[in-house]
Amino acid sequence: MVLKERYEIRWHGRGGQGAVTAAVLVAEAAIIDGHYAQSYPEFGAERRGAPVKAYTKVSLSPIYSRSPIIQPDIVVVLDPSIDKSIYLEGLKDDGMIIINSSKSDSEIKSVLGDKYKIAAIDATHIALDVLKAAIVNTAMVGALIKIVPLASLESVEKALHETFSKKVADLNTQIVKRSYELVRLIN
């Protein structure tokens, strides 16, 4: 798949799930691959469990605007309990939703409808299995880069090793690779 000129991704999660870190990892990996990228958070109350938005822009040309992403190409939903009206707001008509969910494809489609492309991954299960904690950010990174190759798997692994200690990076590399293999397109 060839990258289009620019992708704008909005991440939705809760404090402690790693949405901000995921946004940064994708941007760093895209830069390693020779693209232009930026990421930045938007916080409300800075506490564990509070809603969090983060943004990633990946482009083939320089990016000058640091404004919030109002009309994303892709939304990545780390916590499926977030009201869908929040994460669907402004999503482009040809947009993509990548959601952390253990529900069946038909259950997910019954909630999200047929308007958008949808991909799903049980990121919570993967994170609990590997980390023994429901920190789902890197599982969502793996799912995202499989569905939309904004960065290579190798560059994500390099970004992980630049960000975390070797032990933590190795565990998160396992998570990224597993979600990369298990993510599924629903429609």
Query: What are the structural domain ranges in the chain?
Result: 6-185
What is the C-alpha end-to-end distance of the chain, expressed in Å?
18
At 102, which amino acid appears? S
111 close to 87: Cβ distance less than 8 angstroms: no
What was the pLDDT predicted at 55?
Answer: 96
What was the pLDDT predicted at 49?
Answer: 65
Indicate if the pLDDT at residue 1 is higher than 50.
Answer: no
At 157, which amino acid appears? E
The model's pTM is 0.93
CATH assignment, 6-185: 3.40.920.10
pLDDT (average), residues 53-71: 92
Indicate if the pLDDT at residue 46 is higher than 60.
Answer: no
The Cα 172–Cα 93 span in angstroms is 33
112 close to 97: Cβ distance less than 8 angstroms: yes
pLDDT (average), residues 95-104: 97
